Amino acid sequence: MKLKEPVPVTVLTGFLGAGKTTLLNFLLTQEHGHKCAIIINEFGPISIDNQLVVGVDEEIVELNNGCLCCRVRGDLVRSLGDLFKKQKRFDYVLIETTGLADPGPVAQTFFMPEMAKLLRLDGIVTVADAKHLDKELAEAPEASAQIAFADVVLLNKTDLVPAAELEQLESRIRRMNSLAKIFRTERSQIDPSKIFNIKARDLKDAFREGVGDHSGDYDASHSHDHGDHDHEEHDHTHAHHDESISSFAIADERALDLKKTEAWLSDVLSTKGANIYRSKGILYIKGQPKRVVFQGVQMMFDAIPERFWNPNEKRMNQVVFIGKDLDEPTIRSGFEACVAV
């Protein structure tokens, strides 16, 4: 199969019961113009999700008995490679991870040279259960990581939660991940254009203030079976200020020294990369006529000259870090040391 450009990949993640398979099923019934290959990862020896997925014409690959983490990432690579060897016709890949998966190793897969030639990580979509998100963030580190890695967050099951609480949840998500776009959904129903080919790794719009669309992309006529759980009392005893996941940005108009910047990024991501889930930025390098764009997933990152600075464009550095227990003062101090003299 000869490819003119890499095939886009969307990773669907979210904690147990958030609505990932519901989202996958919904997307496969919509007219979005893509022929999808699907990889489903389940934790356990018996495949359930595969039996729940509609769209029998799709190419479905199962990865059972383990989450998509470092120890089984080789299975993901082999499965992706097998898709191309089969020469099935597809122009998009959807990966649904288990609810206990850390999206980091999945994203890292697409930094590998052999994968980058074939596939392009288009975005990570996290489905969050609005009814139980507070509790999950307090008790499950996986839920926090899934929010931190997201390019898009679907705040799902919004019909089960009062409007004021939805606002609080969105604010909490925004503090954890300032880059993610947030959409409110019921039954994971959303305009497919918000999911497919969003080019989340394209930084042209990455640093707008207040990123996110809070409009409802769902049909309110679809009602849920609320059942008994609709009457549960929400546990708000934990304080929101103690969240370990956060994000911060650096914006600076001073040019940077190339060698110092490379050394700083290598050092900060190698020593703190386990806690820095996502990093991305546009760098203004002294003597470089092009913007330098870098993308990082934990300890893996790349930085490449992108396009020429426009004559009427203000040259500046814009960098965002998202992670757990971030040492913001040290990271900012390291940045300061990179300023060209």
| pLDDT value for 122 | 94
Q: Are 312 and 246 in contact (CB under 8 A)?
A: no
What is the DSSP code string of 99-139?
TT--HHHHHHHTTSHHHHTTEEEEEEEEEEETTTHHHHHHH
Q: Give the pLDDT score at 3.
A: 47
Give the pLDDT band of residue 203 (cuts 50, 70, 90).
low
Confidence of residue 4 (pLDDT cuts 50, 70, 90): low
324 Cβ contact list (under 8 Å, min separation 6) = 144, 145, 148, 244, 245, 275, 277
**CA neighbours within 13 Å on the CB side: how many for 127?**
29
pLDDT, tens digit, 9 for 90 and up, residues 73-129: 666 777 777 777 776 678 898 888 877 778 888 888 888 888 888 889 999 999 999
* Complete domains list, the chain, with CATH: 7-242 (3.40.50.300), 245-336 (3.30.1220.10)
* Each residue's pLDDT tens digit, 32-76: 888 888 887 654 333 334 443 444 344 444 444 344 344 446 667
* Residue that is written with structure tokens 């499950």 in the block: 140
Q: What is the pLDDT of residue 272?
A: 75
Q: Output the CA torsion sign for 103, 176, 154, 159.
A: positive
Nearest to 323 by CA among 296, 302, 303, 301: 296
Q: How far apart are CA 7 and CA 166, in angstroms?
A: 35
Nearest to 234 by CA among 168, 141, 150, 177: 168
User: What is the rounded CA–CA span in Å between residue 219 and residue 30?
Assistant: 14
Position 62 scores a pLDDT of 47
Q: What is the pTM of this model?
A: 0.75
Tokens read off for 46: 């018996």
On average, the pLDDT of the chain sits at 77
Q: What is the mean pLDDT of residues 153-181?
A: 94
Looking at residue 273, what is its pLDDT?
67
Q: Which of 234, 195, 240, 250 has the alpha carbon at shortest distance from 23?
A: 195
CA distance 50 to 52: 5
CA-based nearest residue to 33, from 62, 8, 69: 8
The residue among 155, 146, 147 whose CA lies nearest residue 182 is 155
Token pair 């383990």 is at which residue? 66
R_g of the chain, CA atoms, integer Å = 20
Q: What SS3 class is residue 161? A: coil
Greater model confidence, 151 or 324: 151
Is the predicted pLDDT of residue 163 greater than 60, yes or no? Answer: yes
Burial of 243 (0-12, 13-18, 19+ CB in 10 A): middle
At 252, the amino acid letter reads D
Q: Are 320 and 179 in contact (CB under 8 A)?
A: yes
Contact 9/95 with Cβ under 8 angstroms? yes
Residue 186: closest CA among 220, 161, 162? 220
Q: pLDDT grade, residue 210 (50/70/90)?
A: very low
Q: Which of 59-63, 154-158, 186-190, 238-242 has the lowest mean pLDDT?
A: 238-242
Name residue 182's beta-bridge partners.
153
- The strand pairing partners of 308, in sequence order, are 290
Does 131 score more than 80 pLDDT? yes
* Token representation of residue 17: 């019961």
Mean pLDDT of 184-188: 95
**In whole angstroms, what is the distance from residue 115 CA to residue 9 CA?**
11
197 has pLDDT over 80: yes
Q: What are φ and ψ of residue 195, in 5° steps?
A: -115, -45
